[in-house]
Amino acid sequence: MHEFQLRVYFEDTDLAGIVYYANYLKFIERARSEFIRTLGVDQVALKRDFDTVFAVRAVSVDYLQPARFDDLLCVQTQITTVGGARVGLAQTVRRDATVLVVAEVTLVCLTESGRPTRIPAEVSNKLQSLTQ
């Protein structure tokens, strides 16, 4: 499981002083990008060398409790499935031990023109090694 910490800034909050719901999508995106980076996958090189990019196919988010300005959050990311062109992820946003948000994300591999394509073997092997 990968962990990514971030601080809630004023710009992340709404008039009620809590994190605006859509900003959690940004938080979990940053965590996914850092997770992929820690695997040694260079997404710029993936696009350049294989004409392949990851895109979000589906996301399901359950908002359980609000985060507030200046909270230190931890986004946990775990791979749940790896297919030929898809990757399933479970992501949880926590403040200390309190679970605030739970998300299920499906990524797909696409060519730059938007057509589905298989995950390159080197990347797939790295991803699959974390599902076992």
Question: Taking a C-beta distance cutoff of 8 angstroms, is the pair 27, 103 a contact?
Answer: no
Helix (H, G, I), strand (E, B) or coil at 84: coil
Assigned token pair, 101: 């948000």
- Adjacency order of strands within the sheet including 72-82: 2-7, 72-82, 86-95, 98-110, 53-63
pLDDT of residue 29: 95
Helix/strand/coil percent split, the chain, to 5 = 25, 40, 30
pLDDT of residue 132: 55
Assigned token pair, 18: 């809590």
pLDDT of residue 50: 85
Active site residues: 14
Helices 23-38, 43-50: axis angle to 10 degrees equals: 70
Which residues, given as ranges, of the chain have pLDDT below 50?
none
